[in-house]
């Protein structure tokens, strides 16, 4: 069902990334193990926008790692808007990976958009100088963005970053200027430092300051749990669009809410459990089509708690759903749960991973020379994801 609430409505123009138009100006953030073809398809069915695949390691792509090549398959309905996020710390490797995507069509589909990850706070990435650690080395960042833009040609390249490593090592303004000067089409800023991980509350103030500093579009990211959070972010920061991560976990209909909000409409989805159950089954079906029934249902298990958040479901049923191994078993378990209204008490509540702040793992001596252009020794990860 849908509900007509009384939120502030703000029509937002489409986002222009080179020749690519993103309407509404909403981007699904890459999430390891989540934003596979099945989840991207499900989200797209609820609302238009741009849906980015899981993060791809450039070294693995250049080496034509079989798992990596499977991860960059486009679905039938994203042939004209296939979006890839790349992780890398070496300009030459990043450039070669972009060439493979754009010139060779190694993914089977030429991407319409390429994003560069400079925001991942995961220790296995930062301790090698990648993700949110890399912008501290501004010359290296400049060289990577320059090489990616050169190799991409007419395909727009964007970057995603965080405020900095920590409060004493802030990088986002330099990163924005570098992105603009090297020809990036836009920059996404997550309103946390790397040492905050996913703790506390995102600070949207730096997003507003970045908007004032650069001329390219700035996309805001961090703590958008509802469509009205997105409207508030746009109003407070002047950002040109939003990037959605944890807020859509177990709630792919959020993209429909965002499309309505940015069209100036007040309708919001509040699906009763029977509707949510149908979405859950659809999600598992899409994963089954991609991986086979056993693997697909196993992969679906991680989504169960997110979908059921706030609903009255017995512990035994929850445990059984978290161990489901077939579509029929899933359908039977869902059918046994009484229909009930959407639990509005969970609206606006955080979803997905949370954490406490902790010091960022960095390569030895990483903070000493901001203008060292050399990639960290042995920094490229061997596999995709993270």
DSSP H helices, the chain, are 37-46, 58-62, 66-71, 91-99, 123-126, 138-152, 172-181, 205-213, 227-237, 254-262, 273-291, 293-308, 315-321, 327-335
CA proximity to 377, closest of 58, 118, 138, 129: 129
pLDDT at 233: 98
Write the CB contacts of 267 (distance below 8 Å, at least 6 apart in sequence).
2, 3, 4, 257, 260
pLDDT given for residue 78 in this prediction: 83
Residue 314, CB half-sphere, CA atoms under 13 Å: how many? 8
Torsion angles phi and psi, residue 118, rounded to 5 = -125, 30
Average pLDDT (226-236) is 97
Structural domains of the chain in order of their starting residue, each with its CATH number: 2-269 (3.20.20.70), 273-337 (1.10.1200)
Query: How much is the average pLDDT of 252-267?
Result: 95
Exposure on the CB side of residue 192, measured as CA atoms within 13 A = 21
Q: Is the pLDDT of residue 149 over 60?
A: yes
Coil, strand or helix: which one is 186? strand
**What's the whole-number average pLDDT of the chain?**
93
Q: What CA–CA distance (Å, rounded) separates 154 from 171?
A: 28
120 is catalytic: yes
Phi, psi of 94 (to 5 degrees): -60, -45
pTM above 0.85, yes or no: yes
In the predicted structure, residue 289 carries a pLDDT above the cut 80: yes
Q: Which of 120, 239, 248, 297 is catalytic?
A: 120
Of 72-76, 215-219, 308-312, which range is least confident? 72-76
Percentage, residues of the chain above pLDDT 70: 95
**How far apart, in whole angstroms, are the C-alpha atoms of residue 385 and residue 375?**
20
166 and 193 Cβ atoms separated by less than 8 Å = yes
Peptide bond into 24 cis (omega under 30): yes
Find all residues with CB under 8 Å of 6, minimum gap 6, and list them: 266
């Amino acid at each position: 069902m849908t509900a007509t609430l009384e939120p502030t409505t703000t029509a937002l123009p489409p986002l222009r990334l080179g020749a690519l138009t993103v309407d509404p100006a909403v981007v699904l953030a890459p999430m390891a193990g989540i934003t596979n073809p099945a989840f991207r398809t499900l989200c797209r069915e609820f609302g238009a926008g741009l849906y980015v695949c899981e993060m791809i390691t450039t070294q693995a792509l250049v080496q034509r790692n079989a798992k990596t090549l499977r991860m960059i398959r486009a679905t039938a309905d994203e042939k004209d808007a296939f979006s890839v996020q790349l992780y890398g710390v070496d300009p030459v490797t990043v450039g070669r990976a972009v060439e493979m995507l754009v010139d060779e069509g190694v993914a089977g589909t030429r991407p319409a958009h390429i994003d560069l990850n400079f925001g991942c706070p995961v220790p296995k990435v930062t301790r090698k100088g990648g993700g949110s650690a890399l912008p501290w080395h501004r010359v290296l960042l400049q060289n990577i963005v320059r090489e990616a833009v050169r190799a991409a040609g007419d395909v727009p390249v964007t970057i995603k970053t965080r405020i900095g490593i920590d409060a004493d090592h802030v990088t986002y303004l330099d990163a924005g200027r570098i992105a603009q000067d090297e020809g990036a089409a836009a920059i996404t800023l997550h309103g946390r430092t790397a040492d905050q991980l996913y703790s506390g509350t995102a600070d949207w103030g730096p997003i507003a300051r970045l908007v004032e500093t650069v001329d390219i579009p700035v996309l805001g990211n961090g703590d958008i749990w509802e469509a009205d959070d997105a409207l508030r972010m746009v109003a407070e920061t002047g950002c040109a669009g939003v990037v959605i991560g944890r807020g859509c976990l177990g709630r792919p209909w959020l993209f429909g809410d965002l499309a309505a909000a940015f069209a100036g409409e007040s309708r919001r989805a509040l699906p009763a459990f029977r509707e949510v159950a149908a979405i859950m089954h659809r999600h598992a079906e899409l994963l089954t089509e991609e991986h086979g029934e056993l693997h697909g249902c196993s992969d679906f298990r991680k989504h169960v708690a997110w979908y059921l958040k706030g609903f009255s479901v017995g512990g035994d049923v929850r445990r059984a759903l978290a161990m489901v191994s077939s579509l029929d078993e899933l359908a039977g378990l869902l059918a046994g749960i009484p229909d009930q209204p959407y639990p509005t008490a969970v609206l606006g509540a955080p979803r997905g991973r949370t954490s406490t702040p902790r010091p960022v793992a960095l390569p030895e001596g990483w903070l000493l020379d901001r203008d060292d252009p050399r990639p960290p020794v042995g920094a490229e990860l061997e596999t995709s994801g993270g």
